[in-house]
Structure 1
Amino acid sequence: MFDKIKTLGELGEIAAAERAKGRKVVLAHGVFDILHVGHKRHLDIGKRHGDLLIVTLTTDRFVNKGPDRPVFAEKLRAEMVAALECVDYVGISPDPGAEHVLETIKPSYYLKGSEYADEEADVTGRIKTERLTVEKFGGEVLYTEDITFSSSNLSNRVMSLYPEETAAYLKDLRSRITVDDVKKEVAAVENKRCLVIGDTILDEYIYVEPLGKPAKENIIATKYRSREIFCGGAIATANLVGQVCASVDLVTLLGKSQSHEELIRANLNPNVNLVPFYREGGQTTVKSRLVDPAYVKKLIEVAYISDEALPAAEQATLNGWVEKNIANYDAVIVNDFGHGMIDDGLVDIVCRKSKFLAVNAQTNSANRGFNLITKYPRANFICIDEPEARLAAVERYAPIETVVREKLERLIDCHTFVITHGKLGSIVYTPQAGVKRIPALTGEAIDTIGAGDAFFALASPLLAAGSDPFLAAFIGNAVGAMKVRIVGQRHQITKPEILKYLSTLLK
């Protein structure tokens, strides 16, 4: 069985030798996570159409079905598929798609399930590219028609991958909405034009190995290993908004002396337009963290930050641009980190003149107690975490539902609040429906930085387009769950990945 498992290069050589003999090679490519009778019949059909059946598997890192997937690691999946009598060879693809596999193996038939026959309905957008690649080498796509099961459906309903509360929530949600409903909600924001206003933050991760305490100092010594720097803050928010909206303008503040503008522009999505303003004599905020790479645990942070109020002339220029242009946007999304960019004048402009205003005002180590959401008298949507809500309401012990319903709503003219709760999920409040809790969709977090911003970035344009607040919050929760599995901004979450994960949850 194990001699069936080959590298992609070896599979290319085997396929070439078979073609030279005039034999037909059939290729099937996919995740094959929870092997079931639908997979078996699908592969049996493929074998009947050719002389050699090769199956290639998506490597673990590119299985875009959300947190906690795949259920089985790639070597175990390869072993299970290789155990099938109809399969001649198995390989693991190192790439996110099948194009390189197709170019290497050049099959006579490329096997796909009937659900992929409609190219327009393919959320990944890859099936058309794969078909064209197959046809380039004289092959064709073979769509199989037989009993259909879904590994995602089986894992959701049978294997109990989620905690009891989450499983019950998803079961109820599946009875009320479909994948097509979610696709329509996301499609509704495609033509929206959004303005993101907020601080740029560069997150530097310096990976170190803890060595211990020096004999003569009360410190922990570390050994340098490597370094990464990510574009976070409003940059990450704008990029994620740009995954679902046609056009995004980003108004942000950079330091004149150390702007890092080249790095920032290189990490922006093509449809995100940077509108930078500059702090004379200051630098762009960098938050540098020493990180233990074994568990991605942060040991200490050093902030390189200029967070005092902007000089009047610089602030007036920034505020003037926003006031002049704000009417051109369907939604204004404010990511307020409290680092000196947003003054009372800018708050007044966005509150008075936005067609739709979404606000996230963050409390962090640099501004604790000085950057409260209550400085915004009005908004259409507010998204903050529980400590931020309690600080703003000056309420330490009351249930968070009470804090929102009886305190925050009286302080701010806003009718949609989301309070994120980390591993406890989030709560959503509207006056009509009251408070509802959405449980967390993943129990394991690799890196929580930026998860709340990811939630906010997706929920905001959806609400601006008229989505139901609880459905928008579910989608935001899903994106937040995806984000906590990513170190920093090492990978940008894409729209196809979002739709794929939502589809997985609702099967």
Structure 2
Amino acid sequence: MTDLLGAKMKTLADAAAFADRARAAGETVVLAHGCFDLLHMGHVRHLQEARSHGTVLIVTITPDRFVNKGPNRPVFTETLRMEMLASLSFVDCVAINTGPSAEPAIEAIQPNVYVKGQDYADSAQDLTGKIVDERRLVERLGGTIAFTENITFSSTELINRFFNPFDPQVRGFLDELRAEGGLDEIRDLIESVASMRVLVVGDTIIDEYRYVQPMSKTPKENLIATLHQSGELFAGGVLATANHVASLCREVDVLTVLGGEDSHADFVAAHMKPNVRLRTLMRDKGPTTRKCRYIDQSSMRKLFEVYYMDDTPLGGALEDELAGRIAAAARDYDLVLVNDFGHGMITAPVVRALVENARFLAVNTQTNSANFGYNLITKYPRADYVCIDAAEARLASGSKHDSVEAIIHDRLAPAIHCPRIIVTQASRGCTGFVHGEPPCEVPALADRVVDTVGAGDAFLAVTAPLMAAGGKLRHVAFIGNVAGALKVGIVGHRTSVDKTSLIKSVASLLR
């Protein structure tokens, strides 16, 4: 990299200072913002025209962690994208934005002119809905917004057509969806659940990540020592599921149980989406379940895990109150979604209340190291939709070697009287079953995995309302795989899979 390119590449704060100096010298500052994943002639002409609106052109780019262009994107890292843009002679400065939308960049740069492409001129066509907010912010800061009118290309369409990162099976599946007009149907399906009322029932889990630096074996013991670096707490379990659902549906209520000792009640309340209401019961003894994972900070590999919990089944008055609340309220919701982690909350009377009263019941029973072989989907005699992984399906069916299709069709569907089942299979995608239809296989979409924690819960959270809305199995399973691919790119539960990211990812894949 030349010194000139390096000088053009700045932090957002330094770019803001550069803009201040330029304005003080009488220059007109123009800001252009975007992903710029694959720099092409459309970008070049767009930026050339942007420069014509002033005398100094600053370009900001979306950080890698906020690129909502589908799995395996961006193709080029933020550093390489900066370098490509800095190589253009008419670009004076390039910086990485600090947020998912352009607003932090606009606030920092305070451009005289903010320039977008012609495809943003009609705000109704903006999937993010952010162009209106950006225009208002620019004008509040004394600037104007302009739209370029040159030829346009889509980086996403070019990448999908000429640089497709997927294997032939995935490419074939996406081609079929495009050919049958899947994009419009999928958008309509996602929009159709916006007014739903959802009740989410299940175990609260506090996921704690402790980042450590592995050192070496201790001289006198057969163990590896680690040096603590930092830590994070996340609202996991049913809370993470509710936050995913809340981006798609209007109203989400959570019915859960917290421990009377070390309840984390304030933390839980502070980490829920605005349209999520907590309906918590308190257990006298024991803590709110907390799972502490020790993680190699350099590789993000999990080293070991410690559980803090009391997983003895609820009983007595608390069990009666939980079952009574479900029986009284379940019929008021379009969807009752059960995240059953097998940590003692969901007992036989609670299952009975769910099965007898939910208008549409979606269930996941998770197998984990605390309940292996004991928390099976067959504890539910009825469900309208079941979502479990392949290991959970095999345990519930008692079949080690049968095909997933045979397990679903011949064993699980009859055993739990469920007409809709999806079995997720990690890198193999998922297999879906709807009564009266042939099984449907949808390939996996992610090949960049940061953290697998919560990916299955994200799949469940997104697909459950879509199933309740009557979505086609093929479309629902595809959207679920998109949600899972987005989730494995997120550390813990730092953020949720949101509607905008989901729609933009689907659109990018099907262009």
CA displacement 1:64-115 (0-9 Å, x = unmatched): 2233221111221122112223323322223332223223333332111122
Tell me which residue corresponds to 2:195: 191
Name the residue aligned to 2:232. Answer: 228
Amino acid of the residue matched to residue 505 of structure 2? Y
Q: Distance in 2 between matches of 1:419 and 1:218?
A: 40
Q: TM (normalized to structure 2)?
A: 0.95
The 8 Å contact of residues 162 and 442 in structure 1, kept in 2 or not, is answered as no
Q: 1:311 aligns with which of 297, 312, 315?
A: 315
Q: Which residue number in structure 1 is paired with residue 104 of structure 2?
A: 100
Kindly indicate whether residue 82 of structure 2 is the aligned counterpart of residue 78 of structure 1.
yes
Q: Superposition pairs for residues 359-378 of structure 1, below 5 Å?
A: 359-378=363-382
Residue 242 of structure 1 deviates from its aligned partner by 0.7
Which residue in the other structure is 1:153 paired with?
157
Is 1:357 matched up with 2:361? yes
Structure 1: state its 5+ residue gaps.
none
Aligned to 1:171: 175
1:384 Cα deviation from its structure 2 partner: 0.2
After superposition, the Cα gap between the structure-2 partners of 1:22 and 1:65, relative to the gap in structure 1 and judged at 3 Å, is same
- Is 1:404 the counterpart of 2:401? The answer is no
Q: Relative to structure 2, which stretch is displaced further, 42-51 or 271-280?
A: 42-51
Name the residue aligned to 2:38: 34
Which of 423, 438, 454 pairs up with 1:450?
454
Decide which of 256, 276, 287 is 1:283's aligned counterpart.
287
Distance in 2 of aligned mates of 1:228 and 1:20: 43
**In the alignment, structure 1 residue 250 sits paired with structure 2 residue 217:** no
Equivalent positions of 1:95-134 (< 5 A) are 95-134=99-138
Shift of 1:23: 4.1
Taking a change above 3 Å as real, the CA distance of residues 180 and 111 of structure 1, as seen in their structure-2 partners, is: farther
CA apart distance, 1:21: 5.2
1:61 is aligned to 65
CA-to-partner distance for each residue in 1:18-49, whole Å, 9 max, x for gaps? 44455433221111110111111212222233
Cα 1:223–1:22 shift into 2, 3 Å: closer
Q: Residue 142 of structure 2 aligns with which residue? A: 138
Q: Name which of 435, 440, 445 aligns with 1:436.
A: 440
8 A Cα contact 1:255 1:278, kept in partner: yes
1:40 aligned partner, one-letter code: V
Give the alignment's TM-score, normalised by structure 1: 0.96
| In 2, Cα distance between equivalents of 1:311 and 1:104 | 56
Q: Distance in 2 between matches of 1:314 and 1:391?
A: 30
Q: Distance in 2 between matches of 1:309 and 1:104?
A: 54
- The 2-side partners of 1:10 and 1:396 are apart by 59
Closer/same/farther in 2, CA of residues 350 and 399 from structure 1, 3 Å limit: same
Alignment of 1:388-427 (within 5 A): 388-427=392-431
**Deviation (angstroms), 1:241:** 0.7
Please say if 1:299 is aligned against 2:273: no
Is 2:484 the counterpart of 1:484? no
Question: C-alpha distance in 2, partners of 1:37/1:155?
Answer: 14
Shifted more, 204-213 versus 165-174: the winner is 204-213
Q: Offset at 1:178?
A: 4.7
Which deviates more, 390-399 or 13-22? Answer: 13-22
Q: Using the alignment, how far apart are the partners of 1:25 and 1:416 within structure 2?
A: 56
CA contact (8 A) 2:207 2:492 kept: yes
Q: Is residue 461 of structure 1 aligned with residue 494 of structure 2?
A: no
SS, match of residue 38 in structure 1:
helix
- Where 2:387 maps in the other structure, the secondary structure is strand
Q: 1:494 aligns with which of 482, 492, 498?
A: 498
How big is the shift at 1:10?
4.0
Residues 178/404 of structure 1: CA separation in 2 closer, same or farther (3 Å cut)? closer
- What residue is the counterpart of 1:8 in the other structure? 12
Would the alpha carbon gap of residues 221 and 141 (structure 1) be closer, same or farther in structure 2, given more than 3 Å must change? same
CA 280–144 in structure 1, closer or farther in 2 if over 3 Å, else same: same
CA positional deviation for 1:280: 1.7
Which is worse superposed, 300-309 or 333-342?
Answer: 300-309
Residues 45 and 197 of structure 1: is their aligned pair in 2 closer, same or farther, counting only changes over 3 Å?
same
Tell me how far 1:182 sits from its aligned partner.
Answer: 2.4
What's the CA shift for 1:451?
0.3
Counterpart residue type for residue 63 of structure 1: V
- Judge conservation of contact 2:61–2:96 (CA < 8 Å) in 1: yes
Provide Cα deviations, 1:398-453, integer angstroms capped at 9, x if missing partner.
Answer: 11111111111221211111000011111111133211111111112111111000
The question of whether the paired residues in 1 share the 8 Å contact of 2:205 and 2:238 is answered with: yes
RMSD between superposed Cα atoms in Å: 1.7
Q: Distance in 1 between matches of 2:104 and 2:261?
A: 44
Alignment partners' CA distance in 2, 1:126 and 1:316: 47
Letter of the structure 1 residue corresponding to residue 386 of structure 2: I
Question: What SS does the corresponding residue of 2:54 show, helix, strand or coil?
Answer: coil
3-state DSSP class of the match of 2:406?
helix
The answer as to whether partners of 1:333 and 1:357 remain within 8 angstroms in 2 is: yes
Q: 1:222 to 1:83 in 2, by over 3 A?
A: closer
Task: Return the offset for 1:458.
Answer: 0.3
Q: In structure 2, do the counterparts of structure 1 residues 50 and 328 end up closer, same or farther at CA, with 3 Å as the change threshold?
A: same
1:261-291, CA deviations, whole angstroms, 9 ceiling, x for partnerless residues? 1111111111111111122212111111221
The residue that corresponds to 1:219 in the other structure is: 223
Contact 1:207 1:224 (C-alpha < 8 Å) held by counterparts = yes
Give the letter for the 1:418 counterpart. Answer: I
